[in-house]
């Protein structure tokens, strides 16, 4: 009997809308602090790495590094905002404040409450995405209105990671349990998903912007015995590397 009840599909209705609206009204009271908290971390990373590290490495993927990292920060913000809302905020409403208990005393099913929380996670992700996108446009890197298509993408990202957050919320005995998800899943995804560097980095980018000694180490003469390739392939590769080095304003004075 218990196994049969576990696999019963959820009974959803439009009664989730008032619960979603309740979360919106509560959020409006703390909107400024909430928005600043959601965008401060990705914004600082974007500005510090974009202008600081970007001045050293030049262009990445055919664009300025701050533009490259800005596109990743948009999705990163949606991912972390939805995850945080589905875990910490929903856990507070469910266990600490017991808001869910008060809601289901009304003629609203638990399925509708969970659906409202899920959609609210995605809505918060859209708000965070919009804030980061506005900053990128103010900096002059939003060159087309097609960039607004990132908003529905942010909603989908919010649905995905909001669902993960709610699953962790259902399993968590306390707030400390969420550290596993952030440390073992979200952080590796952020670091190795192509936000800070191309997922398939060009080997030539590794030498751009380095000191002369490091650049010489990158461009040291190689012999066919190094990797088993023929001599004429090495000559072609060295000529291409020399052309890239001379064409870059960052490294042309070192070539």
* Closest CA relative to residue 153, chosen from 129, 137, 188, 133: 129
Percent helix / strand / coil, the chain, rounded to 5: 75, 0, 20
Cα–Cα distance measured from residue 164 to residue 243, given in angstroms and rounded to the nearest whole number: 47
pLDDT at residue 132, as a whole number: 85
pLDDT at residue 88, as a whole number: 92
pLDDT in tens, the chain (255 residues): 455 566 677 787 888 999 999 999 999 888 888 777 767 777 787 778 888 888 788 777 777 888 888 888 888 889 999 999 999 999 999 988 899 988 988 888 899 999 999 999 999 999 989 888 888 888 787 777 888 888 999 999 999 999 999 999 999 998 999 999 999 999 998 888 888 888 765 544 444 444 444 344 344 444 444 444 455 555 666 666 666 555 555 544 444
Cα–Cα distance measured from residue 181 to residue 197, given in angstroms and rounded to the nearest whole number: 23
- The DSSP call for residue 64 is E
pLDDT at residue 220, as a whole number: 44
Cα 249 to Cα 39, 58, 100, 191, distances in angstroms: 33, 8, 59, 28
pLDDT at residue 251, as a whole number: 45
Cα–Cα distance measured from residue 81 to residue 121, given in angstroms and rounded to the nearest whole number: 8
pLDDT at residue 196, as a whole number: 81
pLDDT at residue 157, as a whole number: 94
What would the two tokens of residue 186 be? 């979200």
* Closest CA relative to residue 238, chosen from 248, 252, 223: 223
Contact 82, 129 (CB under 8 A): no
Contact 73, 43 (CB under 8 A): yes
- With a CB cutoff of 8 Å and minimum separation 6, the contacts of 58 are 65, 208, 209, 248, 249, 250, 251
Cα–Cα distance measured from residue 137 to residue 118, given in angstroms and rounded to the nearest whole number: 29
What would the two tokens of residue 177 be? 């349990």
Cα–Cα distance measured from residue 118 to residue 90, given in angstroms and rounded to the nearest whole number: 10
pLDDT at residue 83, as a whole number: 93
């Amino acid at each position: 009997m218990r196994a049969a009840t576990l696999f019963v599909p959820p009974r959803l209705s439009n009664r989730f809308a008032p619960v979603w609206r309740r979360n919106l009204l509560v959020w409006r009271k703390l909107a400024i602090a909430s928005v600043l908290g959601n965008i401060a971390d990705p914004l600082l990373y974007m500005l510090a790495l974009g202008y600081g590290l970007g001045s050293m490495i030049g262009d990445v993927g055919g664009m300025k590094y701050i533009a490259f990292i800005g596109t990743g920060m948009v999705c990163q913000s949606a991912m972390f905002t939805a995850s945080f809302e589905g875990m910490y905020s929903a856990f507070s409403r469910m266990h600490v404040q017991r808001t869910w208990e008060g809601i289901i005393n009304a003629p609203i099913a638990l399925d509708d409450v969970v659906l409202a929380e899920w959609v609210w996670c995605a809505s918060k992700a859209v708000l965070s995405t919009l804030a980061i996108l506005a900053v990128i446009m103010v900096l002059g890197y939003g060159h087309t209105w097609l960039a607004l298509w990132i908003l529905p993408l942010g909603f989908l990202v919010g649905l995905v990671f909001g669902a993960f957050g709610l699953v962790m919320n259902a399993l968590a005995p306390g707030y400390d349990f969420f550290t596993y998800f952030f440390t073992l899943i979200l952080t590796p995804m952020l670091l190795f998903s192509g936000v800070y560097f191309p997922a398939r980095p060009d080997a030539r980018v590794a030498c751009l912007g380095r000191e002369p000694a490091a650049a010489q180490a990158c461009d040291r003469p190689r012999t066919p015995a190094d990797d088993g390739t023929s001599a004429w392939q090495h000559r072609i590769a060295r000529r291409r590397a020399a052309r890239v080095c001379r064409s870059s304003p960052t490294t042309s004075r070192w070539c």
